[in-house]
Amino acid sequence: MTKSALQIERASYQPKLPDALKGLAKAVEGAPTQSVADQEEIKKMFPNTYGLPIIKFESTTEKVEIPAFNVGVILSGGQAPGGHNVICGIFDGIKKLNKDCHLYGFLMGPSGLIDHKYIELTADVIDDYRNTGGFDMIGSGRTKLEKKDQFDSGHEILKKLNIKAVVIIGGDDSNTNACVLAEYYKAIGTGIQVIGCPKTIDGDLKNEMIETSFGFDTATKVYSEVIGNIERDCNSARKYWHFIKLMGRSASHIALECALQVQPNICIISEEVEKKNMSLNDIVTYIAGIVAKRAEQGKNYGTVLIPEGLIEFVPAVKRLIAELNDFLANNAEEFSHIKKSHQVEYIASKLSKENAETYSSLPSGVARQLALDRDPHGNVQVSQIETEKLLSDMVATKLAQWKEEGKYNGKFSSLHHFFGYEGRCAAPSNFDADYCYSLGVAASALIVSGKTGYMASVRNTIAPAEKWIAGGVPITMMLNMEKRNGEMKPVIKKALVELDGAPFKKFASQREKWAEETDYVYPGPIQYFGPSAVCDQTTKTLLLEQSK
């Protein structure tokens, strides 16, 4: 592997660890837990892994001989900065317990487990990837683990390699899969443990025990750097409105964090749109109103941040998508034979009156995009819906109408951007490098403690790393029942932006000022070397949420 000067320097960075994980750790059990909702149903579905206690690790001087054991690891879902450090933490964690332990990486996600494709991760492999971005050490994939034959095929290779535990590094859907797999292996008495690690740049896998998902820190800093660059260009040319769509399908955490970092003129928060029952026209009128106010000051320029999943939070469109999902799930074969030119008309004829009217009112491009194939988890592929262009076109139409009515006399030219993949494989920030490594070591400690159906947890993360609290949380504690592909399924409940939470309140208190003024902040690139105040800062979101 050819390395850049930065990679060579970063390879020598030793991630910081919580005190409890620096030496031998013992697992201290807390009170039994229950799922966040649908307790009876979840308990019935997970009789062997439900109600487990929260685990906290504490330092111990008690030395125990640990027999050598083997571990498997899977990267699942979209990439997030720091994934390699989780694997490095697992490797170092198990080798510290017994130098004869072995780590195997299953290739290209869960399919590697099912299809028996793997490599042994030796020190030579691991050392090449320390503190690097990407998932290219073993690759990732989106295969959903949900069928008995998949579990049984996985069991064959795990047994052959004498693997004691498998660690699944992924987001809410991937960790739901980990929970299902842990239950199945426990139920049939395989003795194989399953541990999860919380990954997603979207930031929607969090709760009282999982303060943040890894990759969110790095990705939002990467996006904020580029948005800051655009803002500086915007304030230099002073002739364009930049509509910037940001990754985040099911929640607006990325858009909110970037807004707190760069102070744009407008940022739409999907959860607020839903709460206020706003229509597309309401959103467009809000944006156009700010454009017009700035035009009165001679400012025919600005920046607008838009969450990737916004369209799904517009209540009328959300109701449409729910019916559309059911229809497509139940009529996939019939729909596949309809010509593309007739698909919109065909779908409209099959929907309820209200949803048919909403569907027919959408621009044809958006209507077609809503009918595209779902992802493996049954979700609309919102990244393919050009919401930023849709909104800027509708704003342009609204402003032209106002101009005819004498309500607007400015100039409006728009440019469009979508920041998603740019942030997923960035070299991890110091925070993510430390956090991910700690998660990996915590996962190894959960394994040696005999736990299964747990997610590695590291808390108190706005404190210095040595004061972080490491442990594990039962995945069943996070589950609720939701409709997926037309069926009710157990899934980890997504954490949306809380409108009464400190990050949103901070944003809401400033947005009117940011709308009219040009008070941009230019964060610049992630700093890996230098003063701790610059290099080790957390996200604004985490700081606001955790500060008491």
Residue 265 sits in the same domain as residue 414: yes
| CATH number, residue 306 | 3.40.50.460
Does 384 have pLDDT greater than 80? no
Domain that holds residue 281: 216-424+500-521
Residue 221 sits in the same domain as residue 369: yes
**Look-up of token digits 């493996």:** 376
Residue type, 386: E
- 544 within a domain of the structure (yes/no): no
Residue 340 pLDDT: 78
The tally of domains found in the chain comes to 2
Q: How confident is the model at residue 365 (pLDDT cuts 50, 70, 90)?
A: confident
Residue 463 sits in the same domain as residue 400: no
- pLDDT tens track for 515-532: 999 999 999 999 999 999
Side-chain half-sphere of 20: how many Cα atoms within 13 Å?
22
Residue 372 sits in the same domain as residue 300: yes
Which of 339 and 95 is assigned the larger pLDDT? 95
Residue 437 sits in the same domain as residue 414: no
- pLDDT tens track for 120-145: 999 999 999 999 999 999 999 999 99
The CB density around residue 430, as the number of other CB atoms within 10 Å, is: 24
Does 23 have pLDDT greater than 60? yes
- Give the integer Cα–Cα distance in Å for 439 and 454: 12
Q: Calculate mean pLDDT across residues 200-220.
A: 96
Best CA proximity match to 57, nearest among 362, 484, 463, 468: 468
Does 382 have pLDDT greater than 70? no
Q: How confident is the model at residue 372 (pLDDT cuts 50, 70, 90)?
A: low
Q: Report the percent of the chain where pLDDT is more than 90.
A: 84
- Give the integer Cα–Cα distance in Å for 442 and 198: 12
- 487 within a domain of the structure (yes/no): no
Residue 272 sits in the same domain as residue 179: no
- 538 within a domain of the structure (yes/no): no
- 16 within a domain of the structure (yes/no): no
- Give the integer Cα–Cα distance in Å for 390 and 165: 47
List the Cα angle 272/476/252 in 5-degree steps. Answer: 20
- 530 within a domain of the structure (yes/no): no
pTM, rounded to two decimals: 0.93
- pLDDT tens track for 157-188: 999 999 999 999 999 999 999 999 999 999 99
Average model confidence (pLDDT) across the chain: 94
Residue 249 sits in the same domain as residue 310: yes
Q: How confident is the model at residue 312 (pLDDT cuts 50, 70, 90)?
A: confident
- pLDDT tens track for 424-458: 999 999 999 999 999 999 999 999 999 999 999 99
Tell me, yes or no, if 233 is annotated catalytic.
no
Q: Calculate mean pLDDT across residues 498-527.
A: 98
Q: How confident is the model at residue 359 (pLDDT cuts 50, 70, 90)?
A: confident
Residue 360 pLDDT: 84
Q: What are the residues whose beta carbons fall under 8 Å from the beta carbon of 224, sequence distance 6 or more?
A: 257, 258, 261, 262, 523
Catalytically annotated residue among 172, 173, 202, 217: 202
Residue 225 sits in the same domain as residue 247: yes
| CATH number, residue 440 | 3.40.50.450
Q: How far is CA 481 from the centre of its chain?
A: 20
- 510 within a domain of the structure (yes/no): yes
For 352, counting Cβ atoms within 10 Å of its Cβ (0-12 exposed, 13-18 middle, 19+ buried), the class is exposed
CB 360 within 8 A of CB 372: no
Residue 387 sits in the same domain as residue 504: yes
Does 318 have pLDDT greater than 90? no
